[in-house]
Structure 1
Amino acid sequence: MIDYQALGEALASVGAGAWSEQICRQVQVALDQQSHGDLARWQKVVDDLHCVSPSSVDLREGVRVGVPDDVSEALRGRLREHLMALHPWRKGPYQIFGIDIDTEWRSDWKWDRLKNHIAPLDRRLVLDVGCGNGYHCWRMLGARARMVLGIDPTLLSVMQFQAVRKMYGEAAVHVLPLGIEQLPVEMRLFDTVFSMGVLYHRRSPIDHLYELKGCLRPGGELVLETLVVAGGVDTVLLPGQRYAQMRNVWFLPSCDALIVWLRRCGFKNIRLIDVAKTSTQEQRSTEWMRFNSLADFLDPENADLTREGLPAPRRAIITANA
């Protein structure tokens, strides 16, 4: 069982004591409901990781824990085997004692696109919804956030985060195996809430926007990143059975339509800060993620289309205030 005592104490200190008392029960319920057959193996991988005190850490330019000289070549080899046992690694990259975890996504590129356009995270309470293995959570901590809480129901992602955290040491960053629907309703706690790569997976995107707004204190900032399509205010794509081979993609709005959705949900100061086509350099198969990736999901004759004949992935980043 992952120890969330420090998180509970941190939440209690900012007025969320009632929720802090529920977290361990919520986590246990989430673990019981998923009852993943590999969970015990993943937990053993994390437990068996050799503890080494890194001589330096860097969360400003990436997620870098230690340097090669901190460990022997033999120990680095064992650490690499343990980390590789948590394959596939999707968000990153990470550098751990000279081990380069070359993840499927160059998540650092997304961070570079948004970091200069959001409110400074200095001393803020931050929530990252659908955080995966917590790569962006670490970058948020590197931007001097007071505390970062990530939530993601994917157990492997949570265990990858725990592995990195064990190498890093104690830090004001936590990842819970929960979805946003399991957070207290209208908690209004966080100064900044990130939702990146989540909205198009929700059957009701409007409900998701309301859930995000309910997590924010009055005036707090939402950072929303999602798939979009070209078009006007009335353009929304509802794919058939699949989009880029993904089954769980529901609504892809145009940027103008998404702004209307946000306005209807009561957000203010809405700004479109970036639109970028996803490239096969940003999302690709690697040694650390050996399954099919974006190149396999696009039309082999026309990279502007998916294999289903739909517009290829394009992502927008929007900020707004509650």
Structure 2
Amino acid sequence: MKNIYDDEAFFKEYAKMERSQGLNKAGEWYQLKEIFPDVKDKNVLDLGCGYGWHCKEAVRRGAKSVLGIDMSMKMIQEAESRNADEKITYRNCGIEEYEYPMNAYDLVISNLALHYIEDLKSVYKNVYKTLKESGIFLFNIEHPSFTSGVYEEWIRDDQGKALYWPIDHYFYPGKRETVFLGKKVMKYHHTLTQILNGLLECGFEIEHVEEALPSEEARSLLWMQDEMRRPMMLMVKAKKRETVDKRL
């Protein structure tokens, strides 16, 4: 997985996707932007920044500084090309390898990257450490109903019509192989309990949970109607708990 986005053929196919053209082309953005916190004069870390769209959005909203990290050098190069700004620093670094300085950021955001992480709780602990008091962790991860799908694909009839979405081995978290953009891709399935309770166990307060669904406008498109039959993404907004009063 560490090299799939640096595969030339894979990356060219990724560049053709709607979401590669900007935030407004990403189906979940109309929901995610509503829970995007105030970042004016604040420091932001983007885990798995991709093309840097969320980094640039944070600057547009008044962020003081933004660091975007991604394990793919091609992604970082694309971010520097498309979304450069004097307030943004891009760095080729994996989510699990980053050093997470103490109390450094007001917001940590991650969009569609955490399902490539096996030990989700270790990331939660690092994010908690690097956030300032009352800092926000906002992330979008592939939904457990999606990652527990069999090869993340519909069961179809002879004409190709989607009959149903199969779920199997839901309560067995771990590595799942699927095919994405013509290539075998390794992801990790995490149950809903792991995703949400893991945050609570690491000291976060959950402020908002939302499952991605097509906008009303998108639902009118024939090819989008099956997206109402199962969730693909899960968006979570969590806050680092305030320090307990030391007098107590």
Same fold (TM over 0.5): yes
TM-score interval (norm. to shorter): 0.5 to 0.7
Structure-1 separation of matches of 2:83 and 2:235: 28
Q: What TM-score, normalized to structure 2?
A: 0.67
Q: Which stretch has the larger CA shift, 176-185 or 194-203?
A: 176-185
Show structure 1 runs of 5+ residues with no match: 1-32, 39-84, 95-102, 283-294, 296-301, 305-310
Please point out which of 244, 269, 272 is paired with 2:208.
272
Could you tell me whether the CA contact under 8 Å between 2:51 and 2:83 is conserved in 1? no
Cα drift, residue 218 of structure 1: 1.9
Give the corresponding residue for 1:164: 82
Structure-1 separation of matches of 2:142 and 2:69: 20
Show structure 2 runs of 5+ residues with no match: 146-169, 241-248
1:83-162 aligned at under 5 Å gives the runs: 88-89=14-15, 91-94=19-22, 106-107=25-26, 109-162=27-80
Give the corresponding residue for 2:235: 317
Q: Which stretch has the larger CA shift, 114-123 or 150-159?
A: 114-123
Considering only aligned residues, what root-mean-square deviation do their CA atoms show, in Å? Answer: 3.7
Could you tell me whether the CA contact under 8 Å between 2:106 and 2:131 is conserved in 1? yes
Give the corresponding residue for 1:260: 197
Structure-2 separation of matches of 1:154 and 1:260: 30
Structure-1 separation of matches of 2:75 and 2:56: 14
> Which letter maps to 2:139?
L
Q: Cα 1:318–1:37, aligned 2, differ >3 Å: closer, same or farther? A: closer
Could you tell me whether the CA contact under 8 Å between 2:103 and 2:131 is conserved in 1? yes
Please point out which of 161, 181, 186 is paired with 1:248.
186
Deviations 1:259-299 (A, max 9, x none): 2111011112x0234212479x98xxxxxxxxxxxx9xxxx
Structure-2 separation of matches of 1:88 and 1:316: 21
Q: Cα 1:151–1:236, aligned 2, differ >3 Å: closer, same or farther? A: farther
Could you tell me whether the CA contact under 8 Å between 1:114 and 1:273 is conserved in 2? no
Give the corresponding residue for 2:173: 238
Give the share of equivalent positions with the same residue, in percent: 19
> Which letter maps to 1:249?
K
Structure-2 separation of matches of 1:277 and 1:239: 25
Cα drift, residue 312 of structure 1: 5.6
Corresponding position: 1:206 with 2:137: no
Structure-2 separation of matches of 1:312 and 1:240: 21
Point out the structure with max Rg over C-alpha: 1
Q: Cα 1:237–1:225, aligned 2, differ >3 Å: closer, same or farther? A: farther
Q: What TM-score, normalized to structure 1?
A: 0.53
> Which letter maps to 1:180?
I
Corresponding position: 1:226 with 2:141: yes
Q: How many residues align?
A: 201
Q: Cα 1:213–1:150, aligned 2, differ >3 Å: closer, same or farther? A: same
Structure-2 separation of matches of 1:87 and 1:257: 32
SS at match of 1:249: strand
Deviations 1:10-64 (A, max 9, x none): xxxxxxxxxxxxxxxxxxxxxxx9xx798xxxxxxxxxxxxxxxxxxxxxxxxxx
Deviations 1:160-217 (A, max 9, x none): 1122246xxx531121111233332452200000022122111111112112212211
Q: Which stretch has the larger CA shift, 155-164 or 182-191?
A: 182-191
Give the corresponding residue for 1:57: none
Cα drift, residue 123 of structure 1: 0.9
Structure-2 separation of matches of 1:114 and 1:144: 17
Structure-2 separation of matches of 1:248 and 1:37: 14
Could you tell me whether the CA contact under 8 Å between 1:205 and 1:251 is conserved in 2? no
Larger strand proportion, structure 1 or 2?
2
Q: Which structure is richer in relative contact order (CA contacts within 8 A, separation 6 or more)?
A: 2
Cα drift, residue 241 of structure 1: 4.3
1:53-68 aligned at under 5 Å gives the runs: none
